Amino acid sequence: MRLSSKTIGWTIIALLIGGHLLAAVVVTSQTPKRQRQVQDHDYLGGWDNIPSQERLRLADKHLKWGIPASWNDTGRGKTRLLYRDYKQVTGQDYQPRTQEGSPSCVGQSVSAAIDILATTQIMAGAPERAPPARVDASVVYGLSRQEVGELGRAGGGSLNLWACQAVHRYGVVFQQDYPLLGVDLTEPSPKRCVEYGMQGVPDSLEHVAGLHTVKEYIFINSYSQLRDAIYNGCPVVVGSKQGFGRGKKHKRDRDGFLSPPRRILFKSVWRHSMVIIGVVDKDREGVLVLNSWGTTWVKGPQRFDDSPDGSFFVDAAIIDKMLKQGDSYALRGFTGFPKR
Amino acid sequence: MRGTLIGKCITGLVLLVATGVIIADHMYANNYIDFPNTKLAATSEERAGLPDFVEVGELVRLNVEGEQVVWKCLPDHPDYESYGAENENLVISFRDPGVYTIIVASYLDQRVELDTYRIEVVGEAIETVTKTPVVLGELESLVIEWCKSSDMSPRVADSLAEVLQASAVENFEDTSTLLKLTAKRTRDMEVEDFMGQMTAYVMRQEEEIGKSLTVEQYKDTWNRVARGLLKYATL
């Protein structure tokens, strides 16, 4: 039997529709698997899912500091890698944090930003010495959720805005023993993050935290603002839903960049906060992002051989989209430890 | 015949999709960019004039041009302050005679400029002044304020004073044991807020004098806090 051209046409259309339906079924069936995969690998975020407009409203309401005029365009065409200041001051490479099973990315990223900030301002001439230890993330996370966000025991996660307000109002404590208070924060602990996140931080620590506050948190919502902030020694925390890589495969390209998935089938969503500690505003423009998932979650070459493990470059256009989600801040002016 | 046609259609579609994937991958492929290292430049000509030697305690001002200026004094010296939009100004004075080297780094014309200044300091050394701890009256007043802000009952204040006095008379070899024992004794008293303020006070005091308190200094502080607590309890 000979088939008419009409029949052939309808067959092709039916096949196309069938193909699309099949793809939709595959995507839907894969979604729970991807979520499980993320949890299996402790790739948890914890950045809250408040609608963008609400975040912008919150930012507008609380923002006290604008971009300093002296920053304008200072970073254009420049390279600045803040982790090198940390190495210079402490003599050690900056090791990425590990949030493990806790949704404390906001606490981790803001704490890492302050670790770096403390050293960049020393390199800029502040009469201070390096802090005795790294900033404790569980206290930042707990203060952001309970004292600022007033979340009670609800859920997990926080906002960068709340964490920035927390370190500005209450300050930070360090990963060390506080024997008089009966609190030993020497070892970072995801369990303590969850505990402080749910129940709040002990009152005693709040007073001690007051000795070391961050003076300013500056709202950043474009790549150029970010570039100038980094160039002027201020790390930036960025909160967004932007994901990178495909499932478990996180491999930097030969330039050291990690990119979002290329196709709809591999859509990746991270409700996550990370800290930006470097910028290169020439050739392939991008920023260096430091994650809080330890050292081994991402592989592939680094743009600079001395970059911290667990960090990756992100293209300027991608980071600009992330900043537009409205919860990114540059930290400036940490009250550190005076020189002895 | 039908089978042949359907087969051709499917083959065509597969080829179409495969071509699309290859084209997309090619479009998204990143080009390798060789990134040049920052160049270190020779000594800048933009240096300010400097006298051959200065007196101990004399104020020296330095200025350079450039962006993101970083100053460093060798040997390390605490009495300096840099200021300006780019940290381009430095004010420094010296407590001890000797020869000092000041190194300054800055970006200028997209290059890193390094400059060094040799300064000879003459004269007698200035004795370093150690800040004295706050006097008893001030700490007593602070303790009363802490009690009020913690909403502490007179009974608890009395008990806490007892604990601190007991810790102050015991023999300790190191401060850590004293602090841990005090914390253990106060654990069930619900005085977290007060202890936090006390800890912050001690830490601030240590920052001011530039070193950790000794066991005896801690005991002295405990006694003074206890006296403040007893005063609050009788108000």
**pLDDT, tens digit (0-9, with 9 covering 90-100), for B160-197:** 999 999 999 988 889 999 999 999 999 889 899 999 99
Please tell me which residue, B43 or A252, carries the higher pLDDT value: A252
Average pLDDT in the A138-166 region?
A: 89
Reported as a single tens digit per residue, the pLDDT across B76-108 is 765 667 777 777 877 777 777 888 888 888 887
Cβ contacts of residue B109 below 8 Å, gap of 6+?
none
The pLDDT assigned to A51 comes to: 56
Percent of chain A with pLDDT over 70: 86
pTM for the predicted model, two decimal places: 0.70
CB contact under 8 A, A179 and B179: yes
The minimal CB distance from B78 to the residues A206, A263, A339 is found for A339
Are the beta carbons of A179 and B183 separated by less than 8 Å? yes
Nearest to B176, CA basis, from A280, A186, A191: A186
- pLDDT, one tens digit per residue, over A71-130 is 999 999 999 999 999 999 999 999 999 998 899 999 999 999 999 999 999 999 999 999
Nearest CA of chain A to the CA of B71: how many Å?
6
Q: Which of A267-271, A336-340, B23-27 has the lowest mean pLDDT?
A: B23-27
Strands (E), A176-235: 177-178, 183-184, 214-219
Residue A272 burial (10 A CB sphere; 0-12, 13-18, 19+):
buried
- Rg over CA atoms, chain A: 22
* DSSP character at residue B60: E
Q: What is the token pair recorded at B174?
A: 């190191």
Does the distance separating the beta carbons of A204 and B195 come in below 8 Å?
Answer: yes
pLDDT digits (tens, 9 = 90+) for B3-53: 567 777 776 677 666 555 544 443 333 222 222 222 222 233 334 455 567
Phi, psi of A219 (to 5 degrees): -65, 130
Alpha-carbon distance of A276 to A290, in angstroms, equals 6
CB B168 within 8 A of CB B227: no
Higher-scoring residue by pLDDT: A50, A209: A209
Chain A stretch 292-321, residues whose beta carbon is closer than 8 A to a beta carbon of chain B: 303
**Is A30 at the interface with chain B, CB within 8 A?**
no
CA distances in angstroms from B203 to A162, A185, B199, listed in the order given: 27, 16, 6
Residue B67 CB: number of other CB atoms within 10 A? Answer: 19
3 state SS of B12: helix
Q: What is the pLDDT of residue B134?
A: 46
The answer to whether B185 and B163 are in contact (CB under 8 A) is yes
What is the average pLDDT across A315-332? 94
pLDDT band at A144 (very low <50, low <70, confident <90, very high): very high
User: Is B192 an 8 Å CB contact of chain A?
Assistant: yes
Gap between the Cα atoms of A324 and A316, Å rounded: 12
Contact B187 A182 (CB under 8 A): yes
Q: Which residues 6+ apart lie within 8 Å of A177 measured at CB?
A: A183, A184, A185, A186, B176
- Euclidean distance between CA atoms A261 and A92, whole angstroms: 34
**Cα–Cα distance, B45 to B42 (Å, whole number):** 9
Q: Which of A74, A211, A284 is facing B33, going by the closest CB pair?
A: A284
Pairing relationship of beta strands A269-280 and A286-290 according to DSSP bridges: antiparallel
Q: Reply yes or no on whether the pLDDT at B133 is more than 50.
A: no
Between A70 and B114, residue with greater pLDDT: A70
pLDDT value at B123 more than 90: no
pLDDT of residue B36: 26
Cβ neighbours around B163 below 10 Å, total: 19
